[in-house]
Structure 1
Amino acid sequence: MMRSTLWMKWFSVLCLLCVWSVNASSAKLVFSEEGETVNALTLGVMKKQLLTHQIDIYDPQYKKNKRYLAFALHDVMALAYGKSWESKLSTDVKFVALDGYQAVSPFDKLLEQGGYIVYRDAEQPDWELIGHNQSNPGPFYMVWTGNKQTPKQAYPWPYQLAVIDTVEFKNQYPALYPQQVKETTNVFAGFKLFKDRCMKCHALDQQGGKVGPDLNAPMNILAYRSPEILREYIRQPSKFRYTQMPDHTDLSFQQIDSILEYLAYQGKAAKR
């Protein structure tokens, strides 16, 4: 009787593992161009057609060393878009997470070595929870192995990755791009910082991230928050309240002021 009970327990565990394996293999990553889907790859397909790498990195999201099973980003892009994916004329690549988080990265960064699409934590049977909300980062998590390829250096590290989209920034985000502004101005410098740091979570006129509030609609944030308070808040929101927004203490006040100049410019542009 005891042997039979023990066998039933092992059989139940085996069934659960099989279900987990099937569900994990059916996890899907969608690829598009300017919002139009061109491919969708399941984890099972990628495992069959791509080389799996074991990578050991310091993960700035967890703030500790981690070991992952992953596919090289270049291999994934070639499988999804074709071997000539590097020759595409898009200016940027958008990474969209399940919760609406959007990381937009210049195409040039993706041409660098060091990017990986993680599909499993190699040190434990399930994903370790991540972030302020203690979210499951699966089914896919993008990481980088270079010491300087960090989120603060504007390299995308989205977890719960669902969609990779190649885009022309001006076409995809006309409400964010500062039209008729010279690239040597503070406004354009602020735009670049907003693109790298802020639009992952925030939108302007409903274009951009969906995690944080829209900063230009229905009213520009500078219409109801003083530049002095915003300057301090952008630099260190953790000093004000518990929030998902990260600190940006590496930014100078001059850089933050350029973000505020950009936001002011976009607020005036929206009224034209």
Structure 2
Amino acid sequence: MNQRALWIGLLTLLPFTHLHAAELTLELGNGSQRLSSTQLLAHPQAQRVKISDDVSYKRSMHYRAVPLAALLDGVQPGDHLQLVASDGFAAELSAAPILSQTGSQAWLAIEDPAQPWPVLGKSKPSAGPFYLVWQNPAASQIGPEQWPFQLTAIRKLAPVEQRFPQLLPAADASPAVQAGFAQYQKNCMACHRLNGAGDSQLGPDLNIPHNPTEYFSGDFLTRYIRDPQSLRRWPQGKMPGFAVEVLSDKELGELVEYLGHMTGRKMQP
């Protein structure tokens, strides 16, 4: 038997999960910890959960999952978390809804290498190996951007306002602009930067060199946010549309107010 054949033979003797187990990194202010999918699938609180109206799969799904709160040792409701995906998506989220015993329930779904999840679409992988899913998301106003999939890391960080002052509106900005800043953090920041500020590596900067309010005239920007493909049909386009159930007309107007306000506050990265 040659060396290559011997190596292949030895690999077949290893457990499948040891070959394909993924790792999730936790950085919660007390050092860095890595948990493999094998460890998480065997977690004492792991159980089978049903997720109705799954944001990524657009249908009901069942997962083996762990309450995310069970993994956040030392995290307090007032803390701020960032959940990072392998494609550069970086969701910003208060710890409060994750730790709450009422309202929405946050679960870390774990893909079993022996029972892989469905793919998300043609030529796309699954939502695994780790995926933040929610039961009863409406109770805590959890939006689609708070369902990050293909997770690689969860970090406890300072709030966005402290980490990225380049995103702050002027102190005398209107209440609508201030509210729009909150909508930006919830719905846009996971994919985009603004003034170079943010940790996402996915979408373009929304102020440098030009703000979308500078090149979308009339109501085209709001129409684009509602349904990007209706204005710019592009098979590779990744931006989802934001339905009125997710972002109300009032909230969308506030978001556009914030973006317009920031045209006067451009800062080079």
TM-score strictly above 0.5: yes
Q: Which contiguous aligned blocks of 4+ residues in structure 1 show a shift greater than 6 angstroms?
A: none
Q: Distance in 2 between matches of 1:151 and 1:201?
A: 19
Considering fraction of residues, name the structure with more helix. 1
Which stretch has the larger CA shift, 190-199 or 216-225?
A: 216-225
3-state SS of paired residue (1:204): coil
Partner of 2:72: 77
Q: Are positions 1:98 and 2:86 aligned together?
A: yes
Q: Are positions 1:136 and 2:133 aligned together?
A: no
Partner of 1:210: 201
Q: Distance in 1 between matches of 2:209 and 2:89?
A: 21
Q: Distance in 2 between matches of 1:131 and 1:164?
A: 26
Residues 230 and 173 of structure 1, relative CA distance in 2, 3 Å threshold: same
Identity %: 27
Q: Distance in 2 between matches of 1:181 and 1:104?
A: 25
Residues 135 and 28 of structure 1, relative CA distance in 2, 3 Å threshold: same
Residues 93 and 219 of structure 1, relative CA distance in 2, 3 Å threshold: same
Task: Confirm or deny: 8 A CA contact 2:132 2:147 kept in the other structure.
Answer: yes
Partner of 2:190: 200
Which amino acid letter does the alignment assign opposite residue 163 of structure 2? Answer: Q
Which amino acid letter does the alignment assign opposite residue 66 of structure 1? Answer: M
Count of residues paired in the alignment: 249
Q: Which among 6, 10, 15 is matched to residue 12 of structure 2?
A: 15
Residues 147 and 218 of structure 1, relative CA distance in 2, 3 Å threshold: closer
Which amino acid letter does the alignment assign opposite residue 99 of structure 1? Answer: D
Task: Confirm or deny: 8 A CA contact 1:73 1:115 kept in the other structure.
Answer: yes
Partner of 1:6: none
Q: Distance in 2 between matches of 1:48 and 1:253?
A: 44
Displacement of 1:181: 4.7
**TM-score where L is the length of structure 1:** 0.78
**TM-score where L is the length of structure 2:** 0.79
Displacement of 1:49: 5.0
Residues 128 and 218 of structure 1, relative CA distance in 2, 3 Å threshold: same
Q: Distance in 1 between matches of 2:250 and 2:140?
A: 22
Residues 202 and 271 of structure 1, relative CA distance in 2, 3 Å threshold: closer
Which amino acid letter does the alignment assign opposite residue 57 of structure 1? Answer: I
Residues 117 and 181 of structure 1, relative CA distance in 2, 3 Å threshold: farther
3-state SS of paired residue (1:210): coil
Unaligned runs of 5+ in 2: 1-7
Q: Distance in 1 between matches of 2:242 and 2:91?
A: 17
Q: Distance in 2 between matches of 1:140 and 1:148?
A: 22
Q: Which among 239, 242, 259 is matched to residue 230 of structure 2?
A: 239
Which stretch has the larger CA shift, 168-177 or 38-47?
A: 38-47
Partner of 2:258: 262
Q: Are positions 1:189 and 2:184 aligned together?
A: no
Unaligned runs of 5+ in 1: 1-10, 79-83
